[in-house]
Amino acid sequence: NAGVTQTPKFQVLKTGQSMTLQCAQDMNHNSMYWYRQDPGMGLRLIYYSASEGTTDKGEVPNGYNVSRLNKREFSLRLESAAPSQTSVYFCASSRGADSDYGYTFGSGTRLTVV
Amino acid sequence: DQQVKQNSPSLSVQEGRISILNCDYTNSMFDYFLWYKKYPAEGPTFLISISSIKDKNEDGRFTVFLNKSAKHLSLHIVPSQPGDSAVYFCAALGQGGSEKLVFGKGMKLTVNP
């Protein structure tokens, strides 16, 4: 089915380890986003990419890096994981500013840092 | 400072009754508002939206009302069904053309059979 695919679905890391969360969309969307969801905090934007080749910081970018590899793929990297990064991570995409503003979300990556 | 607020963390209603979910915002630059629905272990899915030039938008059992002067919007679900039980997020867009959505904290709706 068309949509946003995130891998992995679950991951446990030790403090200080690094990992990359992968995201790919097959809807030819221009914009892609990474959010984290924490209990009582809602969805907070980490980074976004308005178009291929551009990335910008969101509300909570510290401790993360991103790469917009091509139009389809947008990865999120944790260089040195910390327990505070335990969260559920969602990738999303949209057509961009000229769309009906609806985002399509992936099913999430549940990350635990011990 | 939170720009989109969903002050009630949860709501429980009986099947067949109306569910009213409220959302307030502080940024007058927001000009488009959306509701997302999220089931456990799934990503949020788009439910309904409203532009700031309107005060009401309907889609089947779902209606969103916008009161710009009060910076308040609400989602009405009539009649509520057990399958509507989920977390609902209010989101806003705008800020001078920005396409980044700003989400509220979410509200858990439980519809009892």
Q: What is the pLDDT of residue B103?
A: 92
Find chain A residues with C-beta within 8 A of B35's C-beta. none
Does the structure show a pLDDT above 80 at B86?
Answer: yes
Q: Give the distance from residue A94's alpha carbon to the nearest chain B alpha carbon, in angstroms.
A: 9
User: Rounded to whole angstroms, how far apart are CA atoms A49 and A29?
Assistant: 11
Per-residue pLDDT band at A90 (split at 50, 70, 90) = very high
The pLDDT of residue B39 is above 90: yes
- Mean pLDDT (chain B) is 92
Contact B93 A102 (CB under 8 A): no
Q: Do B89 and A105 touch (CB under 8 A)?
A: no
Q: Please answer whether residues B75 and B62 qualify as being in contact, where contact means their C-beta atoms are separated by less than 8 angstroms.
A: yes
Two tokens at A90?
A: 């969602």
Rounded CA-CA distance B60/B25 in Å is 25
State both tokens at B18.
Answer: 């109306």
Q: Answer yes or no: do A90 and B43 touch at CB < 8 A.
A: yes
pLDDT at B96: 52
Instruction: For residue range B60-82, list pLDDT tens digits in order.
Output: 999 999 999 999 999 999 999 99
Q: Report CB contact under 8 Å: A90, B44.
A: yes
Percent of chain A at pLDDT > 70 equals 93
Tell me the average pLDDT of chain A.
92
Looking at residue B41, its pLDDT comes to 87
CB atoms within 10 A of CB B91: 25
- Residues of chain A with Cβ-Cβ distance to B46 below 8 Å are 102-104
The pLDDT assigned to A102 comes to: 77
Instruction: List CB contacts of A19: < 8 A, sequence separation 6 or more.
Output: A11, A13, A77, A78, A81, A111
Mean pLDDT, range A73-97, rounded to an integer: 93
Residue A98 has pLDDT above 80, yes or no: no
Structure confidence at residue A100 (pLDDT): 60
